[in-house]
């Protein structure tokens, strides 16, 4: 019995060492995360007030700096338009890849390019729209919708990839069952595949939206930054990332504080979106 | 090339009354309201070949499935029985790179003929799969109604047909109190009967069953076997099965396939007491590994 | 490659050996019964009677084995026909054993009278030899699955039947003496037992043909007039 006892003790020791190392690594990874959240809340919460959300930035360096209303509304408008463009397009491409293209040569090429697009830095999208739509004469200057376009380009590969995964997860047996009942393929997609993949699709879409809401670089070159709340997407429009970018560099403490407040707001908005995504995906599960 | 009858004990398929030289009409035009009639269509395979790319999965099969009878297809794994059966409702061609060559007749309509509507063929030839596959986002009622909604059936007629199908599948008593609940909440055996009800709702003439009981427990299996016997009064049924005892219990005639070919076909009793082909004898007595 | 269903094969083989082995038992029992008859040996006769328990025991063993095999292995095709045939074979074996017992029982009864008619005795002995050969041939035919050899049993059986008729006719001729007639009557009964043994052997032959061809056919029906 003694040899068995010896082996056991040795194994328990190495097990403990491994566990400790893993705990340390996890702790190390969590520390910056916790620090960020802590700082955000500490610095940002102070800037929050009712007027913070209901007034526009005043543009004044002295006196009342104003709130971030135009930034919040601007973000919502720009991201909404970007989503309206990117979501149908992204799901459409995913549908093509999964239902019709499958392993064909063209489909494989499309998949490759989508993969490449996910790796393109967001500033490149901004620059692309800047050069083609902002600088080029006859198109006017900065505008909210141009920012939406840049964000849509950013969102498109994300939506496509996650939608493709969600659609692929739908078991082939369901498609077969629907086809065998005598349904044309488009009906099978519309009535069976899409409803079944819906939770996954929604999750992917919400995550893409959350990502787009936080991107700064594309907006700097396209929608730029203004002070007033405007509903006119054809004119320059404010947004949270742009506002933060502008405020952070200022000397005035109150402006910097406003930047923190805006950052916290943005994080909270994204948190809400991701929580929604998780709830949706948890509620319905594919058998 | 002369017509080659299947082996021992099998009579020639009935001569058709229409000359086969003329192109056969689209299947959809030959299908009317089935509720009044009880005689189903027969299925005839003539020199059927099926391929997955270069792989020759079904090699020259001549076989008849008489109307209102249950025919079992037995054979070892990979012998091509599932592939052959999927050619009958043209599901085989849904696999990328797959194709089928030859003639498949529903009575005298060639389902591979020019101008045949694949969708109409699949409405006339229903299929029940090995693993029960009710639509997960739909309730029990919606599952059964799924096929009907595709043809535009609505309202009270829809409800009647759903109830009728569930009764025909022997499931009505167990689910009529929870039609709105998700289809996937039922037990395995109930799910399979739900899939059968879904298939019945579209009122096919032929029902193909690809190992319908292999995922079920013995009690559920028995219920489905009894259901098959009951259904054969109104439909022509083809059952692919690994389980020879099941073929023996359920089928009027049995066909044995090996390596993509039809080896022997005859009345079930004879196939299991005195088969003609030595390969059948070997398979049936378990001398195959 | 290990043979498929090896356990089932060996069980079926075992059952067949037990059933055919019982035929050997019948042969030895028949030998002793005939010997007891020849020498009027009452003790040997009672031994034969007692020994029938062995054959009956073997019948129960095989019967139970068949039921068990049917329930657990679900034999089909040739295997099924073999199992069904073995069921019939063992029944015929048991009957043959009973016929030997009947012969043995007749010995003490006929023993008081000295043998009277040579012709009858000669024919009884000949019937005994033929019956014995029929049993042996039935066993061989089944073991080898030889349908032709099985059909030949019918030919031998016709001889046995002929001898039986001759004994019957000869017995009727023995008019003079009541003792002689009594002895002749017992001999007729012995002949009848031997004839029944022959019939059972033919039945076993029919089972052999059934296993081989899948068709059950009577070789020569008692209700039809046999040729010659």
Contact by Cβ (8 Å): A106, A197: no
Distance from CA of C72 to the nearest CA of B (A): 13
Asked if C78 has any chain B CB less than 8 Å from its own CB, the reply is yes
Q: Give whole-number Cα distances, A286 to A96, B133, B135, in Å.
A: 22, 11, 10
Distance from CA of B153 to the nearest CA of C (A): 48
Contact by Cβ (8 Å): C36, C107: yes
Residue C74: burial class (beta carbons within 10 Å; 0-12, 13-18, 19+): middle
| Total CB pairs under 8 A between chain B and C | 36
In chain B, residues with a C-beta closer than 8 Å to the C-beta of A181 are: 122-123, 126, 146-147, 150, 198-199, 202
Cross-strand bridge partners of residue B265: B255
Asked if B266 has any chain C CB less than 8 Å from its own CB, the reply is no
Quote the CA–CA distance of A32 and A42 in Å, as a whole number: 15
Tally Cβ neighbours within 10 Å of residue A251: 7
- If you measure CA to CA, which chain B residue comes closest to A178? B147
Read off the DSSP letter of residue B40: -
Count the alpha carbons within 13 Å of B248 in the hemisphere toward its beta carbon: 13
Cross-strand bridge partners of residue B61: B48
Task: Name residues whose C-beta falls within 8 Å of residue B280's C-beta, 6 or more positions apart in sequence.
Answer: B256, B263, B264, B271, C77
* Model pLDDT for residues C64-103, shown as the tens digit of each residue: 999 999 988 889 999 999 999 999 999 999 999 999 999 9
Asked if C205 has any chain B CB less than 8 Å from its own CB, the reply is no
In chain C, residues with a C-beta closer than 8 Å to the C-beta of B285 are: 5, 75-79
Please tell me the predicted confidence (pLDDT) of residue A101: 83
Please tell me the predicted confidence (pLDDT) of residue B96: 87
Count the alpha carbons within 13 Å of B146 in the hemisphere toward its beta carbon: 31
Please tell me the predicted confidence (pLDDT) of residue A65: 75
- If you measure CA to CA, which chain B residue comes closest to C79? B285
Quote the CA–CA distance of C96 and C113 in Å, as a whole number: 27
Phi, psi (degrees; rounded to nearest 5) at B56: -90, 95
Please tell me the predicted confidence (pLDDT) of residue B81: 94
Tally Cβ neighbours within 10 Å of residue C53: 10
Closest Cβ opposite residue C77 in set B284, B288, B289: B284
3-state DSSP call for residue B99? strand
Phi, psi (degrees; rounded to nearest 5) at B238: -120, 125
Contact by Cβ (8 Å): C115, C121: yes
Please tell me the predicted confidence (pLDDT) of residue C2: 53
Cross-strand bridge partners of residue B100: B50
Cross-strand bridge partners of residue B43: B65, B106
Quote the CA–CA distance of A196 and A174 in Å, as a whole number: 9
Contact by Cβ (8 Å): C153, C138: yes
Asked if C123 has any chain B CB less than 8 Å from its own CB, the reply is no
SS (H, E, C) C163-177: HHHHHHHHHHHCCCC
Please tell me the predicted confidence (pLDDT) of residue A229: 72
Report CB contact under 8 Å: B202, A179.
Answer: no
Cross-strand bridge partners of residue B208: B127, B238
Cross-strand bridge partners of residue B210: B240
Q: Residue A87 is encoded by which pair of tokens?
A: 């979501």
Please tell me the predicted confidence (pLDDT) of residue B243: 87
Distance from CA of A174 to the nearest CA of B (A): 6
Report residue C130 CA to chain centroid gap.
11
Residue among C78, C211, C217 with most chain B CBs within 10 A, to mutate: C78
User: Of all helices (H) and strands (E), which one includes residue B238?
Assistant: strand B236-240
In chain C, residues with a C-beta closer than 8 Å to the C-beta of B280 are: 77
Read off the DSSP letter of residue C224: S
3-state DSSP call for residue A66? strand
Asked if A31 has any chain B CB less than 8 Å from its own CB, the reply is no
Cross-strand bridge partners of residue B99: B51
Contact by Cβ (8 Å): B63, B255: yes
- The list of chain B residues with pLDDT below 70 reads 1-38, 151-152, 289
Task: Name residues whose C-beta falls within 8 Å of residue C227's C-beta, 6 or more positions apart in sequence.
Answer: C158
- The list of chain C residues with pLDDT below 50 reads 1, 222-226, 228
Distance from CA of A104 to the nearest CA of B (A): 10
Please tell me the predicted confidence (pLDDT) of residue C213: 93
In chain B, residues with a C-beta closer than 8 Å to the C-beta of A287 are: 136, 184
Quote the CA–CA distance of C122 and C125 in Å, as a whole number: 5
- The list of chain A residues with pLDDT below 50 reads 286-287
Residue among B286, B287, B288, B289 with most chain C CBs within 10 A, to mutate: B286
Q: Residue B289 is encoded by which pair of tokens?
A: 């590994």
Residue A33: burial class (beta carbons within 10 Å; 0-12, 13-18, 19+): exposed
Quote the CA–CA distance of B240 and B269 in Å, as a whole number: 17
Q: Nearest CA to B65 among B164, B185, B181, B208?
A: B208
Please tell me the predicted confidence (pLDDT) of residue B150: 73
SS (H, E, C) C25-44: HHHHHHHHHHHHHHHCCHHH
Asked if A181 has any chain B CB less than 8 Å from its own CB, the reply is yes
Listed in order, strand segments (DSSP E) in A77-209 are: none
Which B-chain residues 213-252 have CB contacts (< 8 A) with chain C? Answer: 244-245, 248
* Model pLDDT for residues C163-178, shown as the tens digit of each residue: 999 999 988 887 777 7
Contact by Cβ (8 Å): A204, A165: yes
Is the pTM above the cut of 0.80? no
Count the alpha carbons within 13 Å of C139 in the hemisphere toward its beta carbon: 17
Quote the CA–CA distance of B279 and B259 in Å, as a whole number: 12
């Amino acid at each position: 019995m003694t040899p068995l006892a010896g082996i056991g003790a040795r194994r328990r020791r190495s097990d403990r060492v491994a566990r400790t190392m893993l705990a340390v690594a996890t702790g190390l990874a969590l520390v910056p995360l916790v620090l960020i959240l802590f700082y955000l809340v500490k610095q940002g919460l102070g800037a929050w007030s009712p007027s913070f959300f209901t007034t526009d930035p005043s543009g004044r360096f002295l006196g009342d700096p104003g709130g971030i209303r135009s930034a919040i509304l601007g973000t919502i408008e720009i991201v909404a338009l970007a989503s309206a463009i990117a979501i149908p397009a992204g799901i459409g491409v995913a549908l093509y890849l999964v239902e019709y293209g499958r392993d064909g040569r063209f489909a494989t090429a499309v998949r490759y390019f989508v993969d490449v697009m996910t790796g393109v830095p967001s500033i490149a999208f901004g620059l692309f729209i800047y050069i083609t739509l902002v600088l080029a004469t006859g198109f006017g200057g900065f505008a909210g919708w141009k920012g939406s376009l840049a964000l849509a380009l950013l969102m498109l590969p994300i939506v496509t990839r996650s939608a493709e995964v969600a659609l692929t997860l739908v078991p082939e047996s369901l498609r077969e069952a629907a086809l065998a009942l005598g349904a044309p393929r488009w009906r099978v997609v519309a009535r069976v595949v899409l409803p079944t993949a819906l939770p996954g699709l929604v999750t992917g879409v919400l995550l893409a939206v959350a990502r787009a809401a936080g991107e700064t670089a594309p907006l700097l070159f396209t929608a730029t930054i203004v002070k007033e709340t405007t509903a006119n997407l054809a004119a320059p429009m404010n947004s949270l990332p742009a506002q933060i970018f502008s405020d952070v560099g200022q000397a005035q403490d109150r402006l910097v504080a406003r930047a923190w407040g805006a950052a916290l707001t943005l994080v909270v908005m994204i948190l809400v979106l991701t929580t929604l995504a998780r709830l949706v995906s948890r509620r319905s599960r594919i058998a | 090339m002369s017509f080659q009858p299947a082996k021992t004990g099998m009579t020639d398929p009935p001569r058709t009354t229409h000359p086969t030289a003329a192109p056969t009409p689209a299947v959809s035009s030959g299908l009317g309201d089935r509720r009044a009639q009880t005689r189903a269509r027969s299925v005839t395979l003539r020199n059927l070949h099926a391929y997955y790319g270069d792989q020759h999965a079904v090699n020259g099969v001549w076989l008849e499935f008489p109307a209102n009878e249950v025919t079992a297809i037995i054979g070892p794994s990979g012998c091509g029985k599932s592939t052959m059966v999927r050619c009958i409702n043209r599901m085989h061609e849904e696999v990328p790179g797959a194709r089928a060559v030859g003639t498949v007749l529903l009575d005298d309509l060639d389902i591979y003929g020019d101008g045949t509507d694949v969708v109409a063929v699949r409405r006339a030839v229903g299929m029940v799969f090995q693993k029960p596959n009710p639509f997960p986002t739909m309730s029990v009622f919606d599952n059964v109604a799924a096929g009907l909604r595709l043809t535009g059936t609505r309202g009270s007629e829809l409800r009647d047909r759903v109830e009728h199908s569930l009764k025909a599948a022997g499931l009505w008593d167990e689910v009529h109190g929870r039609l709105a609940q998700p289809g996937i909440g039922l037990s395995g055996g109930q799910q399979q009967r739900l899939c059968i009800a879904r298939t019945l709702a579209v009122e096919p003439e032929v029902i193909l069953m690809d190992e319908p009981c292999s995922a079920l427990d013995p009690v559920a299996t028995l219920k489905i076997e009894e259901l098959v016997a009951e259904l054969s009064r109104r439909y022509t049924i083809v059952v692919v099965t690994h389980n020879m005892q099941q073929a023996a219990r359920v089928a009027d005639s049995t066909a044995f396939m090996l390596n993509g070919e039809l080896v022997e076909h005859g009345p079930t009793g004879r196939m299991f007491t005195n088969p003609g082909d030595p390969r059948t004898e070997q398979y049936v007595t378990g001398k195959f590994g | 490659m290990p043979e498929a269903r090896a356990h089932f094969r060996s069980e079926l083989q075992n059952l067949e050996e037990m059933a055919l082995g019982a035929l050997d038992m019948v042969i030895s029992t028949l030998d002793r019964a005939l010997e007891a008859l020849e020498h009027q040996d009452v003790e040997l006769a009672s031994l034969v009677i007692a020994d029938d328990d062995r054959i009956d025991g073997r019948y129960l063993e095989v019967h139970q084995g068949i039921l068990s095999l049917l329930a657990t292995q679900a034999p089909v095709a040739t295997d099924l026909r073999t199992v069904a045939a073995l069921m019939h074979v063992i029944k015929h074996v048991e009957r043959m054993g009973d016929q030997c017992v009947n012969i043995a029982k007749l010995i003490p009864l006929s023993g008081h009278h000295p043998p009277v008619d040579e012709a009858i005795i000669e024919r009884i002995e000949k019937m005994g030899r033929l019956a014995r050969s029929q049993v042996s041939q039935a066993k061989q035919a089944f073991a080898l699955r030889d349908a032709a050899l099985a059909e030949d049993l019918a030919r031998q059986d016709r001889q046995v039947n002929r001898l039986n008729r001759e004994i019957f006719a000869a017995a009727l001729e023995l008019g003079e003496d009541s003792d002689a007639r009594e002895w002749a009557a017992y001999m007729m009964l012995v002949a009848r037992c031997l004839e029944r043994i022959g019939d059972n052997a033919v039945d076993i032959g029919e089972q052999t043909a059934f296993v081989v061809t899948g068709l059950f056919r009577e070789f020569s029906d008692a209700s039809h007039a046999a040729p010659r």
